[in-house]
Structure 1
Amino acid sequence: MATKDIWSRLTILTVTHNGGQVVGNMLETVPAEASLIVVDNASTDDTLDIVRSLAPKAKLICNEVGLGYGNGMNCGLKVVETEFALLVNPDSVLTEEAITKLVEAADSFPEGGLFGPTVLNPDGSIELSHDVNMFARSSLGKRVGEVSPEGPISADFVSGAVVLLRMAAGREVGFFDPEIFLYYEDDDICTRLRQAGHSVILVPSAVITHIGGGSVRPNRAYYWEKFWHISWSRLYFEKKYHGASSARRLGWRYALRYALKALGYTLVWNRTKAWRDAARCAGALGFLFGKRASVVPIATA
């Protein structure tokens, strides 16, 4: 069933931001029959030229400011009319076989809301793309030598590099949390889907490649933004599911820990790590003092 009418049932959706180094590789692997939506978050490089050249039939949504990953996805999800949406990072490489297997799994498991493939690194090694929930991970230690599942499994989490979303389930939970600008938005949507009674399923037979590290141009401002948001979003996640008191305690631990680490790296002249941990400290302090990460206006009744 899935293979016969797959392209009438599915829309591919990606969010770009200065991804000119990688987006072409992804677009070249989008099947010609597929509907494609590209949401661009105010790119200033050649991303839009590449999209218009390689995917002239794509629906292109251009945001004047960067809204972050989840809110960028929400812009596209609001106009998706098909049964499924395949959410794709611009630094991923697709195959028609992988897409087909994800849709076949969705037909086999109607309770599933989100389906993730096996993710390979460029060298062919497996990038672990499923996990237990955020709050249980620290108790498991490093996942060294872990054997990949042979068949579909229900997981707490699947990586957002490439996922198939059942649109009915996505609409039920409100898609991505608009308060999260970057990072942990995939943890959050997996959590909310499971709370709503939808399974999150890893489909090992569906295999994609994740190039990684090339979604935006790397520079000092990018690294500051990255680690600021990693810190802020983790604390927001803590508050959302464990309450404000738990988030405040964790936030002050973060602020102190990363301030001391930044100072230590400064003293030994390791500027890169000092910059990273200063950004982590700043993200924690930003959260503690009420700074919003999202640039999307707060919805009012």
Structure 2
Amino acid sequence: MSAVDATSPVISVIVVSADSGPMLRECIYGVLGFSIPLEVLLIDNGSSDGIPQAIGRGRESDHRLKIIYNHKNLGFGPAVNRAAAQARGQTLLILNPDCMITESELQRLLEILSKEPKAGLLGAVVCDEKGVPDSASYRRDPVLQRALTTLFKRNDEGVNIGGPMPDHVVEAEAVSGALMLMPRRVFEWLNGFDEAYFLHCEDLDLCRRVRDAGWRVLLAGDVRVLHGKGGSSRHRPVFVSYHKHRGMWRWFRKFDPAAQRPLVAGTVWLGLWSHFLLQIPGQLFRMAKR
């Protein structure tokens, strides 16, 4: 590693862990294998699996890696904000611990970000192990009408954009929070993630605020990144589901015009939390079968 790499990272890669499992090691080691001048900030939300500590021991001589330990789970957005405050790169890559990006994919994303005017946030098409794209890679704001359209599987405009994923750069309302590339100045201008979200929907919130501030949210349709959907969600499904519903309620209250109508807001609140409660028996049953 050269002195330039150690002191002048082009990009700061931020990974949040919370009992994320073995894929965390694969994610971190993969990024550290790149030749791009970078730093990796692994911020751990009180994991008990010992993997962040093992990564630290295995890479203790690599000054590109910094591990930040939280004594409890602060939530995704707050953890990213704390890591970003210590970042030195002028570009931030916010990467899920189960997201396996290659160097060529990252190079392509950096190239797009440098060429696209007013680009504030760039995402990629995240895919499962079979190469099937996640519909969350390319979506619209989840305003009430669209959410209902998606829920009842109508053919009108829903949250997810139907049809094949684009194979080129397109403008989007929202991209997947599994991988987000941003100029650090944009992230700082927006004061980072809204820390009132704990887990889920903070990515939708950030995309919306990027657009509201006059920057563009883009999807690199020609960049396909493996997303394993690992650890934390499988181990604590009720916990994750609770915060997902809580996040949806916050997004609705902040951005959906329908939230200004008390009767509609009350109905949405009742529907969200009824949906959460109805899911719990199935989640507990699936956990018991493992």
TM-score, normalised on structure 1?
A: 0.78
**C-alpha deviation, 1:232, in angstroms:** 1.2
Offset at 1:260?
8.2
* 2:24 corresponds to: 23
Inter-partner Cα distance in structure 1 for 2:186 and 2:163? 30
Match of 1:111? 118
Per-residue CA deviations over 1:134-158 (Å, capped at 9, x if unaligned) read 2163342486971221210110001
Q: Offset of 1:108 from its aligned partner?
A: 0.7
Equivalent residues of 1:173, 1:193 under 8 A apart: yes
CA RMSD of aligned residues (A): 2.8
Asked if 2 retains the 8 angstrom alpha-carbon contact of 1:235 and 1:247, the reply is no
Kept in 2, the 8 Å contact 1:193–1:200? The answer is yes
Gaps of 5+ in 1: 277-301
**Unaligned segments of structure 2, at least 5 residues:** 150-156
Instruction: Verify the 8 A CA contact 1:238 1:246 in the aligned structure 2.
Output: no
Residues 116, 202 of structure 1: 8 Å contact kept: yes
Contact 1:16–1:40 (CA under 8 A) maintained in structure 2: yes
| 1:209 and 2:226 are equivalent in the alignment | yes
- Whether the 8 Å contact between 2:17 and 2:43 is mirrored in structure 1 is yes
Q: Does 1:92 align with 2:109?
A: no
Q: How many corresponding residue pairs?
A: 263
Q: Tell me the equivalent position of 1:39.
A: 43
3-state SS in 1 of match to 2:243: helix
After superposition, residues 55-70 of structure 1 pair within 5 angstroms as 55-56=59-60, 57=62, 58-70=65-77
- What residue number does 2:187 align with? 170
1:127 aligns with 2:134: yes
The residue type paired with residue 232 of structure 1 is R
CA offset at residue 29 of structure 1?
Answer: 1.5
- Secondary structure of the equivalent of 1:226? helix
Shift of 1:246: 4.5
Question: Runs of 4+ in structure 1 displaced over 6 angstroms?
Answer: none
- C-alpha change, 1:206 and 1:49, in structure 2 (3 Å) is same
Seq. identity, %: 24
The within-5 A match list for 1:184-195 is 184-195=201-212
Residue 271 of structure 1: CA displacement?
2.8
Q: Once structures 1 and 2 are overlaid, which stretch shifts more, 30-39 or 104-113?
A: 30-39
Contact 2:46 2:69 in 1 (8 A): yes
Deviation of the 1:49 alpha carbon:
3.0
User: 1:181–1:261: structure 2 CA closer, same or farther, 3 Å change rule?
Assistant: closer
